[in-house]
């Protein structure tokens, strides 16, 4: 028997994964560039030099000599809005990545269990009863938490078969019930005053989100939720295995699943309460991050956060500058993101899952 | 040292699948579980692993009731090799094996240098270190089975339970996997596996148990129990025996 020498044959050799350092540098550069660009564009441009001067004076205590209007724009208008966009984008991307692992399905987004729909119902009810902007935000936040809480309570009582599947199916069913509720409230709403407000809110915007107080209210739940997700990220690999395999490997799955669902719901509800429904980020950014650093959640979650923050900030910057009236965020995330995603999908040879 | 069941009844949900199981998996021994499809083999394995609660009888791990072990403690003693599946995400082979270290860290910890060293050692032990950076979703069924065995070994268990480890494998890989199991027992592990091939049980197992309708038709030394009459009763069909010049046996489905 002869064995043929196959020096020129490339079968069996595999290109190595992209290194996570390179992936994170790309994501970080995107985020940094997005922040500088977001300060620089708009009716009152703030250059990188202005920001550097202000930061330097904060560090050293020396006077910065900037126009007080510039300082006000940085601290009170553009800064908080930029921080909000980055926080929301990062949080939605991390929650989406965590849910895709938990539900073992790359098509899942953070609102699979009804967080966005519940929050939206809370918000349209708030608009319907005219309870003011803070009331609407609180109603939205509570709506998201209550919806997912109900889904979890009902899903956990189903003892047949895979608990993850029971949870998803319950989420889908209760989600469509809530969507019917939104439809009913819109049907009742005053078509001249309330209905446009509801429509605009449902499409997402950071237009009303520019003050340091807004930022503080948003940052609390988001930092809490993302910290929990970050801490659990190494266990998410095992959580993405079938239930019994994960337990055979030594993971007590039920409490970890509850913690991940609670954390993801917290950040999703807070995001929707602050900025309305922003689709796309939680679904697709995790795939972009996986393309950069691979599926290992230990590396994936930080990269997804950087990418999500940078992506939503770019979109928000476009919405507030491209025309006099703001375009809804939810529209642009999809319009800008889809061709980019298709281009990457078609041109890359890397792994998408 | 053994994983032992006595008068064990098992099942899932409210349904009892089997009962009166007497069984002991001892360190250094390979035990094979034979039986027709749908007669409760996998359910029994999951009960022995503590993944399903026992419905009656005693189940002890090294003389201590299995139910008193925490999930993490159990995973450091019992390794489980499920039937190979493709998986959802394209984890690298090294990442999959690293998951076997879960029970050796705490809830929030990142993989340690020791975890990575153990992973590397297990890849080498099974001769698959060249696959380390390949996506698990893109390797062959036989390679996946070896990866899952490496993952179970990374748990550093004293017993290893394999569910039809050769079911989807080609002829050459079946031999490799069975030889690995024999080697693990020779190194002191207790090994339990299910199979549809009585020849594998005859050649590689020390003892066998025959399971039909959730009950044991018999258990004992492989050579004594594996006869064409017993196999015919087990599978409800005719089984032929062939014998070579050295007197070695093989079974053929009738």
Q: Rounded distance, CA A226 to CA A86, Å?
A: 13
Q: What is the DSSP letter of B104?
A: G
Q: What is the pLDDT of residue A14?
A: 43
Judged by average pLDDT, the poorest of A14-23, A247-256, A320-329 is: A14-23
Residue B5 has φ and ψ, to the nearest 5°, of -120, 140
Enter the tokens of residue B138.
């893109």
Q: Identify the contact set of chain B against chain A, taking CB-CB distances under 8 A.
A: 13, 46, 49, 51, 70-72, 74-76, 78-80, 82, 85, 87-92, 95, 98-100, 102-103, 105, 107-111, 133-135, 137, 151, 155
Per DSSP, the three-state class of B107 is coil
pLDDT at A11 over 50: no
Give the residue-averaged pLDDT of A114-139.
91
Give the residue-averaged pLDDT of A331-353.
73
Do residues B102 and A251 make contact, with C-beta atoms less than 8 angstroms apart?
yes
Burial B46-70 (b: 16+ CB within 10 A, else e): bbbbbbbebbebebbbeeeebeebe
* B30-34/B207-212 β-pairing: parallel
Q: Regarding the domain with residue range A19-31+73-346, which homologous superfamily does it belong to in the CATH classification?
A: ABC transporter involved in vitamin B12 uptake, BtuC (1.10.3470.10)
Model pLDDT for residues B80-91, shown as the tens digit of each residue: 999 877 778 899
Residues paired with B5 in a beta bridge: B23, B59
Model pLDDT for residues A253-305, shown as the tens digit of each residue: 999 999 999 999 999 999 998 888 888 899 889 999 998 899 999 999 999 99
Q: How many helices (H) and strands (E) does chain A have?
A: 15, 0
Q: Rounded distance, CA B209 to CA B226, Å?
A: 10
pLDDT at B165 over 70: yes
Enter the tokens of residue A6.
């196959």
B78 or B141: which leads in pLDDT: B78
Residue A289 sits at the vertex; the CA angle it makes with A286 and A293, to the nearest 5 degrees, is: 135
Selected for mutation to probe chain B from A96, A105, A248 (highest B CB count within 10 Å) is A248
pLDDT at B183 over 80: yes
Do residues B233 and B217 make contact, with C-beta atoms less than 8 angstroms apart?
yes
Enter the tokens of residue B180.
């690995």
Q: What is the DSSP letter of B130?
A: G
Enter the tokens of residue A36.
């500088």
For CA atoms A116, A119, A124, A127, the dihedral sign is: negative
pLDDT at A349 over 60: no
Q: What is the pLDDT of residue A7?
A: 44
Place A76 in a pLDDT band, splitting at 50, 70 and 90. Answer: confident
Residue A73 vs residues A42, A104, A264, A316: alpha-carbon distances, Å: 11, 44, 32, 17
On chain A, the residues whose CB falls within 8 A of the CB of B92 are 17, 294, 296
- For chain A, the average pLDDT equals 87
Residues paired with B242 in a beta bridge: B250
**DSSP letter for each residue of A216-241:** HHHHHHHHHHHHHHHHTHHHHHHHTS
Residue A205 has φ and ψ, to the nearest 5°, of -165, 150
Say how many C-beta atoms besides its own lie within 10 A of residue A3's C-beta.
5
pTM over 0.95, yes/no:
no
Residue A318, min C-alpha distance to chain B (Å): 33
pLDDT at A350 over 70: no
Q: State whether B95 and A17 contact (CB < 8 Å).
A: no
Give the residue-averaged pLDDT of A141-146.
94
Q: What is the pLDDT of residue B187?
A: 93
Q: Rounded distance, CA A136 to CA A138, Å?
A: 5
Place A348 in a pLDDT band, splitting at 50, 70 and 90. Answer: low
Highest mean pLDDT among A63-77, A120-134, A191-205, B147-161: B147-161
Q: Which chain B residue lies closest to A19 (C-alpha atoms)?
A: B133
Burial class (CB in 10 A: 0-12, 13-18, 19+), B102: buried
Q: What is the pLDDT of residue B73?
A: 96
On chain A, the residues whose CB falls within 8 A of the CB of B118 are none
pLDDT at A189 over 70: yes
**DSSP letter for each residue of A131-157:** -HHHHHHHHHHHHHHHHHHHHHHHHHH
pLDDT at B94 over 90: yes
Per DSSP, the three-state class of A88 is helix
Q: What is the pLDDT of residue A19?
A: 63
Residue A310, min C-alpha distance to chain B (Å): 25
pLDDT at B223 over 80: yes
Q: What is the DSSP letter of A166?
A: H
Burial class (CB in 10 A: 0-12, 13-18, 19+), A16: exposed
Q: Rounded distance, CA A323 to CA A321, Å?
A: 6
pLDDT at A2 over 60: no
Residue A336 has φ and ψ, to the nearest 5°, of -80, -40
Q: Rounded distance, CA A9 to CA B193, Å?
A: 38
Q: What is the pLDDT of residue A4?
A: 47
Q: Rounded distance, CA A264 to CA B24, Å?
A: 45
Q: What is the pLDDT of residue A13?
A: 42
Do residues B133 and B117 make contact, with C-beta atoms less than 8 angstroms apart?
no
Q: Which chain A residue lies closest to B51 (C-alpha atoms)?
A: A244
Which residues, 6+ apart, have CB-to-CB distance to A324 below 8 Å?
none
Which residues, 6+ apart, have CB-to-CB distance to A276 below 8 Å?
A123, A200, A201, A202, A203, A204, A205, A328, A329, A330
Half-sphere exposure (CA, 13 Å, Cβ side) for A28? 7
Q: Which chain B residue lies closest to A254 (C-alpha atoms)?
A: B71
**DSSP letter for each residue of A18-61:** PPHHHHHHHHHHHHHHHHHHHHHSSSS---HHHHHHHHHHHHH-
Model pLDDT for residues A148-179, shown as the tens digit of each residue: 999 999 998 887 777 888 898 999 999 999 99
Strand order in the sheet with B15-26: B15-26, B2-12, B56-61, B64-65
Say how many C-beta atoms besides its own lie within 10 A of residue A236's C-beta.
22
Structurally, at CATH architecture level, domain B2-253 sits in: 3-Layer(aba) Sandwich (3.40)
Residue B71, min C-alpha distance to chain A (Å): 5
Query: Domain locations in chain B?
Result: 2-253
pLDDT at A184 over 90: yes
**SS3 annotation, A276-336:** CCCCCHHHHHHHHHHHHHCCCHHHHHHHHHHHHHHHHHHHHHHHHHCCCCCCCHHHHHHHH
Model pLDDT for residues A33-65, shown as the tens digit of each residue: 999 999 999 888 898 888 888 888 888 888 888
Model pLDDT for residues B19-40, shown as the tens digit of each residue: 999 999 999 999 999 999 888 8
Q: State whether A105 and B111 contact (CB < 8 Å).
A: no
């Amino acid at each position: 028997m002869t064995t043929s020498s196959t020096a020129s044959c490339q079968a069996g050799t595999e290109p190595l994964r992209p290194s996570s350092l390179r992936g994170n540098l790309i994501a970080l550069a995107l985020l940094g560039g997005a922040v500088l660009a977001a300060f620089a564009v708009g009716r009152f441009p703030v250059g990188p030099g202005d920001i550097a001067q202000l930061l330097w004076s904060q560090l050293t205590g020396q006077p910065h000599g900037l126009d007080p209007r510039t300082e006000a724009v940085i601290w009170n208008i553009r800064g908080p809005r930029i921080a909000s966009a980055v926080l929301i984008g990062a949080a939605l991307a991390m929650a989406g990545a965590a849910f895709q692992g938990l539900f073992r399905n790359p098509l899942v987004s953070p609102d699979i269990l009804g967080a966005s729909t519940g929050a939206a119902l809370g918000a349209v009810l708030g608009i319907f009863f005219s309870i003011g902007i803070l009331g609407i935000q609180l109603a939205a936040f509570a709506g998201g938490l209550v919806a997912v809480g109900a889904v979890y309570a009902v899903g956990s009582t189903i003892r047949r078969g895979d608990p993850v599947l029971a949870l998803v199916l319950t989420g889908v069913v209760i989600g469509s019930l809530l969507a019917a509720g939104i439809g009913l409230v819109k049907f009742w709403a005053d078509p001249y005053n309330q209905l446009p407000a509801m429509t605009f809110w449902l499409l997402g915007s950071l237009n009303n989100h520019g003050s340091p107080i807004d930022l503080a209210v948003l940052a609390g739940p988001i930092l809490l939720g993302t910290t929990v997700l970050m801490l659990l990220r190494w266990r998410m690999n095992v959580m993405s295995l079938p239930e019994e395999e994960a337990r055979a490997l030594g993971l007590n799955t039920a409490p970890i699943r509850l913690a991940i669902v609670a954390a993801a719901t917290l950040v999703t509800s807070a995001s929707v309460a602050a900025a309305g429904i922003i689709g796309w980020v939680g679904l697709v950014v995790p795939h972009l991050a996986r393309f950069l650093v691979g599926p290992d959640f230990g590396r994936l979650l930080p990269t997804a956060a950087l990418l999500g923050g940078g992506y939503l900030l770019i979109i928000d910057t476009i919405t507030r500058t491209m025309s006099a009236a703001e375009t809804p965020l939810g529209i642009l995330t999809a319009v800008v993101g889809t061709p980019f995603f298709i281009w990457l999908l078609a041109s890359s040879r890397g792994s998408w899952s | 040292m053994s994983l032992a069941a006595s008068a064990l009844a098992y099942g899932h949900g409210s349904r009892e699948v089997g009962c009166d199981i007497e069984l002991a998996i001892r360190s250094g021994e390979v035990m094979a579980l034979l039986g027709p499809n749908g007669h409760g083999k996998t359910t029994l394995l999951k009960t022995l692993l503590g993944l399903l609660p026992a419905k009656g009888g005693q189940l002890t791990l090294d003389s201590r009731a299995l139910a008193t072990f925490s999930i993490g403690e159990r995973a450091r003693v019992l390794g489980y090799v499920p039937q190979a599946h493709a998986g959802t995400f394209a984890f690298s082979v090294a990442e999959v094996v690293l998951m076997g270290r879960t029970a050796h860290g705490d809830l929030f910890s990142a993989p340690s240098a020791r975890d990575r060293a153990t992973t590397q050692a297990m890849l080498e032990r099974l001769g698959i270190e060249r696959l380390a950076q390949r996506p698990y979703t893109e390797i062959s069924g036989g390679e996946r089975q070896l990866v899952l065995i490496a993952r179970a070994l990374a748990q550093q268990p004293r017993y290893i339970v394999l569910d039809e480890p050769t079911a989807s494998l080609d002829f050459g890989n079946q031999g490799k996997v069975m030889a690995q199991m024999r080697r693990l027992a020779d190194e002191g592990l207790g090994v339990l596996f299910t199979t549809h091939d009585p020849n594998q049980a005859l050649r590689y197992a020390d003892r066998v148990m025959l399971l039909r309708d959730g009950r044991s038709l018999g258990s004992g030394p492989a050579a004594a129990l594996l006869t064409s009459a017993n196999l015919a009763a087990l599978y409800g069909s005719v089984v032929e025996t062939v014998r070579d010049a050295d007197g070695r046996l093989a079974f053929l489905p009738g």
